[in-house]
Amino acid sequence: MPRQAAEPYRLFGMAQSYFTRKIQSYFEYKQIPYRFRRFAAAHPEARAAGWPGGVPVVRTPAGEYTWDTTSIILHLETQRPEPTVLPTDPLQRFLCFVIEDVVDEWFYRPAVGSRWFFDENRDHGSWELTKDMTVETPLPAKNVQALLTAYMTQSCGPFGATRENIDSWIDEVVKPWFRVLNAHFSTSEFLFGARPSLADFAIFGSNAAHFVNDPVCRGWADELGPEVVKHTHRLLEPEEIEHGEWSRAHSTPESLIAILADIGRIYLPWVTEATRDGRAQIEFASGKGITVEASPFLKESRGVLLARYIALRSDALDQVLERADILKYFEPYLDQALSIPDTMNLPQPKLNRPFAPPESAEDNLRDQVPGVT
């Protein structure tokens, strides 16, 4: 009898999902065997294992379940360290964690908002998501599309994106981000040299699922960030990537400083205050700001990032943060630091949803779409 092949990892997610694409790209770059399963968050085995419901979830070859893309990647780095996606230099490693954190905790807000508040994006994105969801839900696709659109539109408000302020998100957050990334990627294939880092996979997830994928957003990316589009395409075909070298340690170009400074314009002031006080106003120059609460997930993420700052801190790092005018969002807040999670053991964090949709919206979707849990 022929020997049975080892069971690969199983990735349960959606092709138009921000975080599904992040971990999918990592699997492909590292050449980790996996199978992709389209699903609508209906997975009793994962729920029984304690999965809180944030897409995606991964089943290991041993049949165990794990979730939260950052935690999964850091765990797999301990099991399959080469080619590493964590810069070896402590300064670069912390900057990598900072950029990954802002992409994961900030840019999903305009990504999701732009999908549901621009007609062309909504029509495209809702239909693609519906095709994935109806793999598990025995309803006509048009019914699911209508329910999904209503659910997601209601869900945007809690994380700060509304029909009234989405233009401010685009003009003051997304477009400046395209510009600073474009400048950096015009001189460097990836954030820290000739090989992708953890933060590159986060950027890829946001772009492959939304900003370089949804039609209206792609127009902005083509105009303002053609090098960002190229970065996305490099990671779409990871077998073409040669594992080059990290950029020279302690040599932080102005283009990378500009990325850090952009993070300090709106996000860091807001997240610093929100995680300290429980909520804070997102300030837009347009005057269409909004008060947003800090979720337990966000508070934990901020506490872990501060712990990483303590662990990786150096005079050189502080000088770089000062150049970007963002040291003031780290150094005074060390009392909020938590512990750095143990990544040796299979991660199953209690928190993995960046925001909580309105209960009424969740109940309505659950009641009308069989299988959604």
Could you tell me the end-to-end alpha-carbon distance of the chain, in angstroms, rounded to an integer? 40
Tell me: the pLDDT tens digits for 10-19? 999 999 999 9
pTM score: 0.94
Q: What is the pLDDT of residue 2?
A: 44
The pLDDT of residue 230: 97
Q: In the chain, what are the domain boundaries?
A: 9-83+347-363, 90-336
CATH code: domain 9-83+347-363 is 3.40.30.10
Please compute Rg for the chain using Cα positions: 20
> From CA 136, how far away is CA 127, in angstroms rounded?
15
Q: What pLDDT sits at residue 44?
A: 85
State the DSSP H helix or E strand holding residue 12, giving kind and residue range, or none if neither.
Answer: strand 9-13
Low-confidence ranges of the chain (pLDDT < 50): 1-4, 371, 373
- Tokens read off for 219: 């127009």
90-336: what CATH class? mainly alpha
Q: Tell me the two tokens of residue 103.
A: 């992409």
Closest by alpha carbon to 228, among 173, 177, 185?
185
pLDDT digit string, tens, across residues 110-137:
999 999 999 999 999 999 999 999 988 8
> Residue 1: its pLDDT value, please?
39
Long-range pairs of 66-70 with CB within 8 A, sequence gap ≥ 24: 66/346, 66/347, 66/348, 67/347, 67/348, 67/349, 67/352, 68/347, 68/349, 68/352, 69/19, 69/22, 69/23, 69/26, 69/104, 69/205, 70/100, 70/104, 70/198
Same fold, 9-83+347-363 and 90-336: no
Supply the pLDDT for residue 99: 98
Element (H, E) at 169: helix 166-169
Q: For position 79, what pLDDT does the model report?
A: 94
On the question of a cis peptide bond just before residue 140, with omega within 30 degrees of 0, the verdict is no
* Per-residue pLDDT at 53: 86
Mean pLDDT (the chain) is: 92
